[in-house]
Structure 1
Amino acid sequence: MTDHLAPSVFGNVHLGYIVIETQRFSEWRRFGRDAIGMHLDEISHDVIRFRLDDHQARFILTRGPAEDVVALGWHLDDHESFDRVVARVTDRGVPAVDGAPEDAAVRGVQRLVRFPGPNNLTQEIFTSANTTDEPLFMSNRGGFVTGASGMGHVAITSTKPHQMRGYYNTVFDARLTDYIDETISGAKLKIRFLRVNERHHSIAIANVQTAPINPIRTRVQHLNIEVATLDDMTAAYQRVKQLGFDMALSVGQHTNDRELSFYARTPSGFEWEVGWNPVVVDEKTWEPSTHQGISIWGHTPVGQTIIDKLDQFRLGARSLRRDEDVVPALAGAGIADN
């Protein structure tokens, strides 16, 4: 294989959409539209979508039992980058399957291909998004930050963090932005933050090798979207509380990307971070570093009881029955780091 000689796709990759499988459409309508403040489109009995901007779909909810994120959709800027990613996958013997026209229509994209990803998260790539000039009906007045940065990020817990980092490096030329060292309930965690464009990170990987079990049932621990104004973040925080949704972490500021944010618990169980004003990486000057602790201030658990902690470990025990597939053919030997 000679793709180490080929041009990098870094900078031409953007998180474009996220697919969630759920049976809880009524709760998700209230959460996504009324609490978080996104635009809701009713597509069919089995599909609803949320918009953040002129893209037809940023979050696609399909009816099913997983109660989880099931796919990540990555926008490739041009056909050359798209073909390069497909070749990297298929040259290593991993199947890449063309998406059916009806799947592409639901996602609002063109030239859709999907292939296996770590933690049983299907990876989907597309070349362009269908856009619409239909007005957005959203609670947040300032809008969301997407564009060259993509639409946010996802955070994943892993017992095989080196291999997972190797996967995203192999497929998308992801770069290491920085690390965070944190201790939670006696377990030492190292979190790796990977970027594929100017956004500080599109993927965060929390190493749970030293934990007695992976405490996260779902494929992602949280996903993030970025609002354009501080007022929109604080208004969303108030709506989440007023509508009775669980608040996982209060407003706080992260040590590494300096984003102000809060974390709400979704109807499917994983967390949803709404953030404002993270740093944008300058490729000419950025050097990876290690930060101690996730937050400078805030991000304290809200209303968590001992029963909640026991329930968390009960759900975590269910994750032991799910093998963490890191797609070894695309992870290589993994990337050894500190």
Structure 2
Amino acid sequence: MNPQTTAPSVFGAVHLGYFVIETNRFADWRRFGTDAIGMHHDDLSSDLMRFRLDDQECRFLLRKGPAEDVVALGWHIDDHASFEQIEARIRAHGVPVTRGSQEEAALRGVERLLRFPGPKGITQEIYTTPVQADQPLRMLASGFVTGDSGMGHVALTSTKPAQIRGYFNTVFDARLTDYIDETVSGAKLKIRFLRVNERHHSIAVAAVRGLPIDPIRTRVQHLNIQAATLDDVAQSYQRVHELGFHMALSVGQHTNDKELSYYARTPSGFEWEVGWNPIVIDEGTWEPTTHQGISIWGHLPVGQTIVDKLDQFRAGARSLARTEDTVAALSGNAIPEA
């Protein structure tokens, strides 16, 4: 029996809360996070550092290691009943759940930490009460939008998009917001946008139509944070350029969520989107639709060379030899595709 048929939905009680990034490029990441993007930075040790966006003690935990990638996502669950319901449905599907130690929870600035396998090898972590920092924010940005919407979103590329959608529907009762059809360098992409609360999307999943390839080396294609003001977007865009970090896409506005944003390339290689003013979903009136093209204007490639394109083709070719992990036990509850 599917646990979701006998239990209430957890939709709305789930919020993207933090990212765990593994990297050996601490000096570059410190400059990128503080001096370019404008976040608050805390050194914990020679192997650990954190970035803050708001009063929560940790929004990004960076640890020393070779992955150069996002290795875990943390999801804030509003209440203990929803937390236990999510845990129960994961266990009911036969998927192992591990309780985080007190030290692991403290590093993430949370209480009651659980982790379990996620798509593409990205560990999923859930927690209840976030710890509020006792030190004021020290950052170049005026602020970031978190709150009831959680903190931005994560975008994945996949050869099995329906299974990833099924995973987040099974675990978090995620809802389909809309689709985008886009053609990039002759390849036709379909992008699915999933929400777990009022934010237009907390997860985006892109797939190449008709070809079982994944052109992105990293587990995530990009992550997003939402700036408080348009000036914050403009000023951080300028700092990224001035400090010599690579810009992936120029400033533009998306067709579906109307967010104005740019994409920088992180020291680890995946992209980092800084956006402003996306729409908020009205659950009473929203209907999923398909948009043609990802942007109304802008979002043009910056400094992309033929070498970059060849690297993408090589990554896609290598992906043919890999089996993408979708956590099959949790990925079978997808809503039929439009």
TM-score range, shorter chain: over 0.9
Q: What displacement does 1:336 show?
A: 2.9
Query: Which moves more between the two structures, 17-26 or 125-134?
Result: 125-134
* Amino acid of the structure 2 residue aligned with 1:98: R
Residue 26 of structure 1 pairs with residue 27 of structure 2: yes
Residue 256 of structure 1 pairs with residue 256 of structure 2: yes
Alpha-carbon distance in 2 for matches of 1:133, 1:97? 29
Alpha-carbon distance in 1 for matches of 2:25, 2:199? 31
* Amino acid of the structure 2 residue aligned with 1:228: A
Give the structure 2 partner of residue 215 of structure 1. Answer: 215
Given that 2:86 and 2:171 are in contact with CA atoms closer than 8 Å, whether structure 1 keeps it comes out as yes
Q: What displacement does 1:153 show?
A: 0.0
Give the structure 2 partner of residue 192 of structure 1. Answer: 192
Matches within 5 A, 1:130-209: 130-141=131-142, 143-209=143-209
Alpha-carbon distance in 2 for matches of 1:34, 1:320? 39
Matches within 5 A, 1:237-256: 237-256=237-256
TM-score normalised to the size of structure 2? 0.97
Q: What displacement does 1:94 show?
A: 0.3
Q: What displacement does 1:207 show?
A: 1.5
Query: Aligned pair in 2 of structure 1 residues 75, 296: CA closer, same or farther (>3 Å)?
Result: same
Deviations 1:1-37 (A, max 9, x none): 3431211100000000000000000000010111000
* Amino acid of the structure 2 residue aligned with 1:34: D
Give the structure 1 partner of residue 299 of structure 2. Answer: 299
Does the residue aligned with 1:34 lie in a helix, a strand or coil? helix
Q: What displacement does 1:321 show?
A: 4.7
Q: What displacement does 1:310 show?
A: 1.3
Alpha-carbon distance in 2 for matches of 1:323, 1:67? 20
Alpha-carbon distance in 1 for matches of 2:100, 2:316? 32
Residue 288 of structure 1 pairs with residue 288 of structure 2: yes
Given that 2:190 and 2:209 are in contact with CA atoms closer than 8 Å, whether structure 1 keeps it comes out as no
Query: Gaps spanning 5+ residues in structure 2: where?
Result: none
Deviations 1:232-265 (A, max 9, x none): 0000000000000000000000000000000000
Alpha-carbon distance in 1 for matches of 2:51, 2:119? 25
Residue 72 of structure 1 pairs with residue 73 of structure 2: yes
Does the residue aligned with 1:225 lie in a helix, a strand or coil? strand
Give the structure 1 partner of residue 50 of structure 2. Answer: 49
Alpha-carbon distance in 2 for matches of 1:117, 1:329? 11
Q: What displacement does 1:300 show?
A: 0.3
Alpha-carbon distance in 2 for matches of 1:333, 1:96? 19
TM-score normalised to the size of structure 1? 0.97
* Percentage of identical aligned residues: 72
Q: What displacement does 1:333 show?
A: 5.5
Alpha-carbon distance in 1 for matches of 2:127, 2:103? 14
The number of aligned residues is 337
Alpha-carbon distance in 2 for matches of 1:160, 1:26? 36
Deviations 1:263-293 (A, max 9, x none): 0000000000000000000111111111100
Given that 1:21 and 1:65 are in contact with CA atoms closer than 8 Å, whether structure 2 keeps it comes out as yes
Superposed CA RMSD in Å reads 1.2
* Amino acid of the structure 1 residue aligned with 2:62: L
Given that 2:20 and 2:61 are in contact with CA atoms closer than 8 Å, whether structure 1 keeps it comes out as yes
Matches within 5 A, 1:83-98: 83-98=84-99
Does the residue aligned with 1:336 lie in a helix, a strand or coil? coil
Given that 1:160 and 1:209 are in contact with CA atoms closer than 8 Å, whether structure 2 keeps it comes out as no
* Amino acid of the structure 1 residue aligned with 2:261: S
Does the residue aligned with 1:311 lie in a helix, a strand or coil? helix
